[in-house]
Amino acid sequence: MEKQISSEKTVLEIPRRLVDKRLDVAVFDLLQKKLPTRSLSRGSITRLINERKISLNGRETIPDHLVKLHDTAEVSTQDLFTPAPILEPQEDIDIPILYEDEVIIVINKPEGIQIHPARRGINMKTIAHWIITKYPKLRGIGEDPLRPGIVHRLDRETSGVLVIAKTEASFKSLKELFQKRAIEKTYIALVYGHMEALEGQINKPLIRHSGELKRFAVETQCVPEGAREALTLYRVIARYAEFDLLSVTPKTGRTHQIRVHLASLGNPIVGDKLYTSKSLRRGDKFFSQRQLLHAFRLKFDLFSKKYTFGAPLPPDFQSVLKDIDPVRHQGRDSTFFQSEATGAKGPSSPIKGKAKVISNGVDETSKTVYDSEALKSLLVE
């Protein structure tokens, strides 16, 4: 149900068919029916909610808030008809390309660069600016002019594999794959302390408080309204005196999911300014200038073709691992990484020195550095 309350404001009432849908999805659905001749995108609705220009029941909220029957969303007609900002080319952005064909581009995103701008930061340098500079024909691909071809995101300080759609067909197919959780994502993370188990899963719903960037993990015994299902798998690659190096596979795609889940176990990612306690950020504890989280591999099937992409750890991450590993110059197989990153079998060689292969068992009380074939694949001399 929709009703006009003035020439400047429109109130959209949530019908039964949209109950428990995301706010941005529900508002987009209702506005499409109310304004069929207006070219709107879900991305533009999401942006307006983030900019606090769409309220729910008179309060500011977030795009993924789940709506209830008869909730009312209020939106300014002027905001709906205000043209979206236009991205301008930025010539001095250097992004490594891992792969490209007729339908996709795969990049190795550096840390420190945002995926796309907010409306207020339209002139900042982002991956979106790089896309329209190098591939101007991609301006119209996708649902939001500020996100040309962009189907998923990485945090500003997270590095690694990112896939970009070159056609409308590949955009829709990739988006569907992400929604169906049909894309296998593997991350590498360095965390404080030692995981309770060498391999396991974290099954804790996530919730975000209105107006806050920070997310919170909640126990499944008492899930509050608005919490979203979240599942993360992890495996310890290497164990150091004060850190564990993990291979992490998120099975759902919630914002900050890996960071929140690991922090909820008392093992936050090294360098994470948002989810690491003050005690770990002060004193003698090592603290990286950025969160040591890297999108290592993506695997998916698209248009009957199998894709696997891997991005090597960036130099800053490798440098940290070598600094905390006393056997860093022993038993490294520099050819293993390429085969590991592409999913093929590669050569393996015994690890020398004090390092032990984690799959052969560990002494939980030992301070010996542990290692594995997977670790060798990350440290490329």
Catalytic residues: 155
Q: Who contacts 87 (Cβ-Cβ below 8 Å, separation ≥6)?
A: 117, 122, 128, 129, 132, 139, 145, 146, 148
Contact 366, 358 (CB under 8 A): no
| 8 Å CB contact between 253 and 245 | no
Q: How many CB atoms lie within 10 A of CB 27?
A: 27
Do the bridges between strand 206-208 and strand 215-217 make them parallel or antiparallel, or are there none, so unpaired?
A: antiparallel
Nearest to 117 by CA among 133, 128, 101, 105: 128
Residue 248 burial (CB count, 10 A): 25
In the beta sheet, which residues pair with residue 54? Answer: 75
3-state SS, residue 239: strand
The answer to whether 286 and 269 have CB atoms below 8 angstroms apart is no
Side-chain half-sphere CA neighbours of 330 within 13 A: 13
For residue 131, the surrounding DSSP H or E stretch is: helix 127-134
Nearest to 74 by CA among 145, 144, 4: 4
